[in-house]
Structure 1
Amino acid sequence: MRKLVVSEFLSADGVMEAPHEWHGPYFDDDMAGAVSAQMDASDALLLGRTTYDGFAAAWPAMAGQPGGDHMNGIAKFVVSATLEKADWNNSTVLAGDPAAAVRELKQRDGANITVMGSATLVRWLLGQGLVDEFDLLVHPIVVGRGKRLFQDGLPRTPFTVVSSEMFASGVHHVVYAPRKA
């Protein structure tokens, strides 16, 4: 069975919104290696509508740049009640029951399914018990405002630390797995 892995850049205060505004000074060879390993371990993206729209507008113009060929070539699945057609290369809108569709994707042969951004989707997936790991790059900066990964209303979810590494930049790369009851 494939793993569903949530991969996020986070600030120390849990903000995940607009990392392009704050994570640049911390992007070094260690982080590049971690991001590359995440991409190498995945052959599908699962995205919410807002993240999909942003990625579909940006990534096609980045072919040939770091990560561009991977992001443009990988299979992409979009969870949306309003999107009828996904035009970005290799994109599919999941129709019907999204929980059943994600469970079916996890049963297929292949590598990890990665979720990036997509805060609303991530919180819903966690509530449905569909997340296998959180692969987080926690930056040593307080942003002070913005969308946070974990917000009120989530079920209490204990985690097991799968791995933990501190980069020279101060970024903490930590992988958590929800602890099964």
Structure 2
Amino acid sequence: MGKIRASIYLSLDGIMEEPGVWHMPYWDDEMANFQSEVFYPSDALLLGRVTYEGFAAAWPKMKGEGADEMNAMRKYVVTTTLEEPQWNASFIKNNIVEEVIKLKQGTDHQFLIYGSGRLIRTLMEHNLIDEFHFMVHPVVLGKGKRLFTEQDQRDLKLVGVKTTSTGVAILSYQPAK
């Protein structure tokens, strides 16, 4: 059965919105190495529409390490509004939970979610995410979209901790069974 891992940049106060604006001062070789450890074993991306649109606008123009792999990787995008799949994507338009269950059951692939807060919350509600990687940055933003809401209470089991020289805590969790 396939596995789904979610990899998310967060501020100390749980904000995930627009990480491109605030996370770059904390990027270092340790973060790059961790991202490689998460990305390269993955067979496909599973993305929400907003994350997909941002990635699809940026990645095809990029060169260098990881760009060819990112552009070639299969993408499954949850959307009700997009019509024409591009950038090696397939759309999941209806029955999100059922379609993701089919994806997981039909393969032994590793699926990776970047960003995509609403998608993460939906899949978490149905116990479909196998591992979470929270990259908690030493910054308090005070406002913005939070990853979790009051309705998202779940018990998780810590399975890994790394810290970077810039103060980012990389916390890996699995659902508590």
Q: Shared fold (TM-score greater than 0.5)?
A: yes
Normalised by the size of structure 2, how large is the TM-score? Answer: 0.94
**C-alpha separation between the residues in 2 aligned to 1:24 and 1:138?**
13
Q: How many pairs were matched up?
A: 177
Corresponding residue of 2:65: 66
The alignment-based identity, stated in percent, is 44
What is the 5 A alignment of 1:1-181?
1-62=1-62, 64-88=63-87, 90-154=88-152, 156-180=153-177
CA shift for structure 1 position 122: 1.0
Paired residues of 1:12 and 1:138 also in contact (CA < 8 A): yes
SS at match of 1:42: coil
> What one-letter code is carried by the residue in structure 2 that aligns with 1:73?
A
- C-alpha separation between the residues in 2 aligned to 1:124 and 1:142? 26
SS of 1:129's equivalent in the other structure is coil
Q: Deviations over 1:66-101 (max 9, x none)?
A: 33212211110011122222112x210024421111
Query: Structure 1: which amino acid aligns with 2:32?
Result: A
State the secondary structure of the residue aligned to 2:8. Answer: strand
Q: What RMSD, in angstroms, separates the aligned Cα atoms of the two structures?
A: 1.3
Deviation at 1:50, TM superposition (A): 1.2
* Separation (CA, whole Å) in 2 of partners of 1:111 and 1:136: 21
Please list every run of at least 4 consecutive aligned residues from structure 1 whose deviation after the TM superposition is greater than 4 angstroms. none
Structure 1 gap segments, 5+ residues each: none
Unaligned 5+ runs, structure 2: none
Q: Following TM superposition, by how much is the alpha carbon of 1:110 offset from its aligned partner in structure 2, in angstroms?
A: 4.2
- Per the TM alignment, residue 54 of structure 1 is displaced from its structure 2 partner at its CA by 1.3
Q: Normalising by the residue count of structure 1, what TM-score does the alignment of the two structures yield? A: 0.92
Secondary structure at the residue paired with 2:43?
Answer: strand
- Aligned with 2:97: secondary structure? helix
